[in-house]
Amino acid sequence: MQDEGPILATLALRDNALLPGVEERACRVPVLGLAGRPPPAACVAEFLAGPDRYAAVSREDGRLVFHFDIQRTITALLHEEFCAPSPPLVARLPVGYHLLPGRLRKGLGRALYAWHRLRRRRAPVPWPAWPIDRTLEVLLGLLRAAGRTCPDVITELPLAPGRRYVVCLTHDVDSRAGYERIERFLDLERKYGVTATYNIPGARYEVDRRRLSALVEAGFEIGLHGHDHSGRLAFLGEEEIGARIREGLQRFDGLDVCGFRSPMLLRSAPLFRALEGAVLYDSSVPDSGTFAGGAPFDGCASVFPFRRGKLLEIPVTMPSDADLQLCGWRADRIGALWMRKLDWIAAQGGVAVLVTHPEPQFGGDPRMLACYEQVLRRVAGDPGAQVMTGKALARAVLGREPA
């Protein structure tokens, strides 16, 4: 068995007492640094790769011994080292997709999603699991059982007494049509006494600064949602990306913007480098991808924030309205999925990051607004839920430890 490069194996727990509270007995893991020896008698977890079995963890002299590089494997998961990012079609069109007529744009979107879903089904190693991937839960549980921690993953959230998990409500206001509908979302949020983040492109449509200022004063957050929302930003050179980010931040100067969401969650190493130092946090990586990237490995598998250099990464952990609608899902099915995922994230003590789009064809549709209200009702009525903006979460996490 090779030592370099990931191998997708099934990690099977052989000792039921090893991870109390973790229901999963097996999960798929792209594993790094797998040693080649067969499982010893004291093996408490092993890897199954095709017909082969390998030791994963054994108990020797009363302590747990790892036979793979667990820290390195976790880091590789978080940073999506298993992805092979390439600019998607939307970023390679001769004109920005947003300049296409509405019906053509929607038809193209649906066709692209169908193509991505097919690619994913045919991928030799479909991972992470969707919509819930338990890989990191199991790996962090193994580290904990060994008395070790992973300092990059923020599992100790800044929670008020009695709270168990965080909910970040976010809206990607892609277009003017969406911007004109944000009041419908704000009305619901005020009704349930919660605040949310409105992510706005740096250079796509005019905004009313006084209106946004009043929102920020009332505890809402304005985040930067790329530049012109063409999908190209992540695939420019680092300097060019940096210049566009600075331009957007300047435009929203005075609105305390410190968070970034990439349009369509398109991301790249140059984008993350350009964001470092420009903003406090990024929220452009799904825990488990919704086919938008089209890659079989799409997502960081984490429902916890984690450090990316000086940035805090706050993963998008709830599948977005637009992604699901473009896959042909109806509102009632989307609402049921959101509730299921929310339950799981609550049980993990993680961060539920919900993305909705106020555009009339997505979250702004009355049936989808009813779905959103269902989430707000559930969260507002749950004494364990702590609703906070990404800005508040990032400041609390980055402020308590040296960067």
d(CA 377, CA 13): 38
**Closer CB to Zn ion, residue 80 or residue 174?**
174
Residues 109-138 as x/- pattern, contact with Zn ion by CB under 5 A: ------------------------------
**Closer CB to Zn ion, residue 308 or residue 357?**
357
Q: Extract the runs of DSSP E, i.e. beta strands, from 179-297.
A: 197-200, 221-224, 259-260, 281-282
User: At its nearest, how many Å lie between Zn ion and the CB of residue 265?
Assistant: 9
User: At its nearest, how many Å lie between Zn ion and the CB of residue 200?
Assistant: 10
Long-range contacts of 399-403 (CB under 8 A, 24+ apart): 400/158, 403/310
User: At its nearest, how many Å lie between Zn ion and the CB of residue 179?
Assistant: 12
Which residues inside 56-85 make contact with Zn ion, applying CB under 5 A? none
Q: Is 228 in the site for Zn ion (CB under 5 A)?
A: no
Residues 261-300 as x/- pattern, contact with Zn ion by CB under 5 A: --x-------------------------------------
Please state whether beta strands 52-60 and 43-49 pair in parallel, antiparallel, or not at all (unpaired): antiparallel
Token duo for residue 253 = 């100067």
**Closer CB to Zn ion, residue 110 or residue 164?**
110
Token duo for residue 387 = 């609703």
Coil, helix or strand at residue 320: coil
* Contact predicate 317/353, CB 8 Å: yes
Token duo for residue 235 = 């695939």
**Closer CB to Zn ion, residue 174 or residue 189?**
174
d(CA 92, CA 334): 30
Closest by CA to 53, choosing from 80, 26, 88, is 26
* Integer angstrom CA distances of residue 278 from 77, 141, 243, 275, 343: 25, 34, 10, 5, 34
* Contact predicate 260/313, CB 8 Å: no
User: At its nearest, how many Å lie between Zn ion and the CB of residue 356?
Assistant: 11
**Closer CB to Zn ion, residue 174 or residue 321?**
174
d(CA 367, CA 363): 8
User: At its nearest, how many Å lie between Zn ion and the CB of residue 353?
Assistant: 14
Which residues inside 237-266 make contact with Zn ion, applying CB under 5 A? 263
d(CA 391, CA 212): 15
User: At its nearest, how many Å lie between Zn ion and the CB of residue 225?
Assistant: 6
User: At its nearest, how many Å lie between Zn ion and the CB of residue 180?
Assistant: 16
**Closer CB to Zn ion, residue 172 or residue 313?**
172
User: At its nearest, how many Å lie between Zn ion and the CB of residue 105?
Assistant: 13
User: At its nearest, how many Å lie between Zn ion and the CB of residue 99?
Assistant: 15
Residue 279: φ, ψ to 5° = -135, 170
**Closer CB to Zn ion, residue 174 or residue 323?**
174
Q: How many residues line the site for Zn ion (CB under 5 A)?
A: 3
**Closer CB to Zn ion, residue 163 or residue 229?**
229
Residue type, 185: F
Closest by CA to 260, choosing from 247, 279, 240, is 279
* Residues ≥6 apart with Cβ < 8 Å to 72: 32, 33
Coil, helix or strand at residue 21: coil
**Closer CB to Zn ion, residue 137 or residue 321?**
321
d(CA 43, CA 27): 17
User: At its nearest, how many Å lie between Zn ion and the CB of residue 263?
Assistant: 4
Residues 144-183 as x/- pattern, contact with Zn ion by CB under 5 A: ----------------------------x-x---------
**Closer CB to Zn ion, residue 46 or residue 172?**
172
Give residues in contact with Zn ion (CB under 5 A): 172, 174, 263
